[in-house]
Amino acid sequence: MVFNSLTFVVFFACVLVLHNLPLGWTTKKANLLVASYLFYAAWNPPFVVLLWISTVVDWWAAKKLVSAEHPHARRSWMLLSVVVNLGMLGYFKYGGFLMENFSALMASLGVMYQPPKLDIVLPVGISFYTFATLSYTLDIYLRRAKPASSFLDYALFVTFFPHLVAGPIMRPTELVPQFAHERRATAQQLQFGLALMVLGLFQKIVLADAFLAPAAEAVYDGHGAAGALDAWMGTLAFSGQIFCDFAGYSTTAIGAAMCLGFAMPDNFRFPYAAVGFSDFWRRWHITLSAWLRDYLYIPLGGNRHGASRTYFALMATMLLGGLWHGASWTFVVWGGLHGLYLAVERMLRTRFAGYTPGPFAFFLLGLLTYALVNITWVFFRAKTFTGAWTMLRGMFGFNADATPILQTADLAMVALIVGGIVAAHWLMRSRTLEAMVARQHPVPLTAALGLMAFAVVAAQGAGNAFIYFQF
């Protein structure tokens, strides 16, 4: 079930009604659990079994971790959780990828091996809920958290429908304590939550799908090579599309949770106003960045063991972060480029320690950051290295035989929308949406939300799935 569908509107209305009936808190949590399973089962009911397996294994592994006295026993229970979760993720997400690469390796050695056709269907959101459940047992193993006292609370944490399939990636310590006592949205929370849902759906349906996706698809999925203008504008269109699509999902999810009385962390903080790549990753997909930092970068040594170890940890984290996004070498290159950017930035900060850029230089560094981020988006969007290389050649003016792809109206639309997104990010760079809304008069805010809601209804089409569902 996708947020941008009439089915979800009916589903969410029913959930809200049930949640506000005069029922016991345990009954309400059970209702939310059943609703979350129905939400997930709307895609492919058999895959609910994977949720059950992950939930039960991690619940019992955590219990045994606490009661185990010998370090070897504790490590064994922790490894059981890691192997089961990463095993399911590896099979469903990377099984075909590994077989293809093994076959290519054998062919390079002169051995012709034809792997069996697996036809593996990727369960929606498996990367997201796998990371969420892994954090539970890892935090308990590292003695950073205690196990949940109620199986119902833990099962609801795993399956809570707002964050289940595309984040934000919640930690048990963030959500499980909220299930201890009855949660019910105040009138103000309900209003703000619904406003966030309208804003998120506007970003997804109107900006990402209706306006920006056609331009990105025309450039990236067309048959001809793109010239410099088309290549840059198509990539800028995708940069706006991927932000509006994913931030739109996160905003809708946070709003839906707020309507039920629950708080979820921000996942985006105006990333296209980032100055530098450490700043970018503090603003883009914040919950994934924090997860990779805490469970990968720091265990690999972080910045505690000298420069060489730090650069290794940075690059390894970003390469694996790229692979997390998709079973393709293009995603690995995308992550590797971000790792390279972070390493170079770290070297420059060390070399020019104490340098403070002025306002104009600060702005230019921000534009450079955005331009380099767009270079990485080429590998994220292109389906093959050939396609990525052709696009990069076009961006730097080397596709001499290119013919125009985008019409003047398309170019103007992309420039207006993406320019507006970047300008809004710079305007809000050091602010929060909540603080900005609090300072506005309710009449223009209501009018703006009404216009966005009208645009959502007018542009509503086939209910395209969010891009990050494939991850």
Please write the tens of the pLDDT for every residue from 184-196.
999 999 999 999 9
Of 285, 325, 338, 425, catalytic? 325
Q: How confident is the model at residue 467 (pLDDT cuts 50, 70, 90)?
A: low
**Token duo for residue 186:** 């105040």
Query: If you average pLDDT over residues 226-242, what whole number do you get?
Result: 96
Q: Tell me the domain boundaries of the chain.
A: 21-183, 190-268+356-470
pLDDT tens sequence across 434-460: 888 888 888 898 999 999 999 998 887
**Token duo for residue 122:** 């990727």
Q: How confident is the model at residue 167 (pLDDT cuts 50, 70, 90)?
A: confident
Residue 19: active-site member: no
pLDDT at 469 over 60: no
pLDDT tens sequence across 106-147: 787 787 777 667 667 778 889 899 999 999 999 999 988 888
* Angstrom distance (rounded) from CA 347 to CA 190: 47
Q: What is the DSSP letter of 2?
A: -
**Radius of gyration, CA atoms only, the chain:** 23
pLDDT tens sequence across 306-354: 888 999 999 999 999 999 998 899 999 999 999 999 999 999 998 888 8
pTM, full prediction: 0.92
Residue 246 burial by Cβ neighbours in a 10 Å radius (0-12, 13-18, 19+): buried
pLDDT tens sequence across 366-392: 999 999 999 999 999 999 999 999 999
Rounded to the nearest 5°, which phi and psi values hold at 92? Answer: -75, -35
Identify whether the C-beta of residue 244 lies closer than 8 Å to the C-beta of residue 203. yes
Residue 192 pLDDT:
94
